[in-house]
Structure 1
């Protein structure tokens, strides 16, 4: 099936063949419906013209074996394994178990220190690099300079034993210098070092900031969305502009299990809460990346072999309470664009000076976002 056409306005300067081609075709850009009150409201007809949902391909039902066709044509597997905390022998074996079960997307970051485990897990599963879609992220502190961003990607490629990544993401808007770093990621993609580029923990204002700066919109935004935090305005924006919603913490770290109507639904359907939460995410067209080091749960998190009907989907929609399990990363989608666009914000702006250290402990530290798993 044909890829969805690029919906973003072209940038000025030298940052990419696709944007120059768009300029040559006479793309004049358009006003944002998410900007200030001074901007004109779009008519229903204009909004309908802008609405460009992505295409889901393959498989009898959303999930393992299905792919989301990204805006520029790349196929991304719809279900992935998050790898934060999957270090050492246990981590390698968990990654291999997921790949043997049918997972073909592994999400990581240089910060997680699991890229080498992913390379080893692929070999352990008997697969080649080209058979696995790998998403990784630029180190937050590397935003200090363009040279450090390049070095961050170079280190990730070395760890992965690869000369490219399938998807390269800005880890968080709080890293700052977003316009400059995003333009560089587009260039790295055009150089062939990444097949697609995206962002993580971005909100509408930050995405609009990129678009109004004349830069191509990301193909993927990785955010915390699950049954208990559904962010309909953000996901509607994604769908309108052809941005895939990759859902980190799709199980809310398991912290809401037993505390909502989902537990009763699971009992009624003879399924686990994890299965229902993942199945809901898949049927919404999202790309969930649950993480676990337990092989039984890795299999369970595939949520295969059943579907939710519309009544059940509507019932799950009622669970939305805005609950955030990633209490340091997720709120950053609300940071003002002016704060992160051209400079690096002071840690006080996003809670980076909060006390609490240590990995894998519920201390209130930002490290906790990446070190707990279902």
Structure 2
């Protein structure tokens, strides 16, 4: 069965909605035609000239990369730097590049979950859940139409809270209205007051689904004019945010855990602060540059915080309360390409999928 690039992108964006990326990010289709037929996909951490070459050699016309090759606007394509050369090569070779970056970092089943899985962590959750990503819909529906409207809202993505779906609240009451002579009422007659037994429905949904949810409501609701309210919520979204925290099945001494970390993440070295005088059991982590989460890790009572790109003076901020470990940016996200392949293989078993073998790490160790 043949698939178009837009179908592949649509699936990836259900896993990691673009609305969850940071404002500075550029997670999207960077090169290519959404209508092109997908022959094969190369999953990579980065998209470079060598990765484009590798894709071509494997008969792949799509690269799904974690890091966007384009972060800022390009004012020319003359090949004067690695970004322009990569884009030019991708266009010449007719290889599409799709980036799925901080949006994949921020979902509970994303980059950080993959690291937690490698370390065998249990009872995992988002380290710093994001606020103001949820909305609530309130509407009023005749008793007999309530379930049909709810089902439509559920299909649109509303009513999901963590591992629970079909979540809503309803309470009965009496709705009143009087149709004008220009109305086309489902219930009632022109210019006559009407009373209808209705359910007040309240249901939560991710804010980025607002248009889809409202459309589903209007399509399923029996009334010509649908009364509804939308509220922005301050609630944390426990499924979306930065970093992850979880527990080791069995506690380890700090030095023992660092050796375990080195082995599980295939590390050549680890930079770390003074070891604490207690075993490691609760682990906080963030793939990529995550130092900004140090206070969150402390607040959650983590024994160690694993991330990358920590500056010299920032190591002092561990302050004996927690072990701060820098494992390297590339190294912390190396297994993301495995995650991408897993995501795609579940939905597109008939597409040829490959893991990039190109080492794109710009940092070397002696």
For normalisation by structure 1, the TM-score amounts to 0.27
Looking at secondary structure, tell me which structure has more helix per residue.
1
Looking at secondary structure, tell me which structure has more strand per residue.
2
For normalisation by structure 2, the TM-score amounts to 0.28
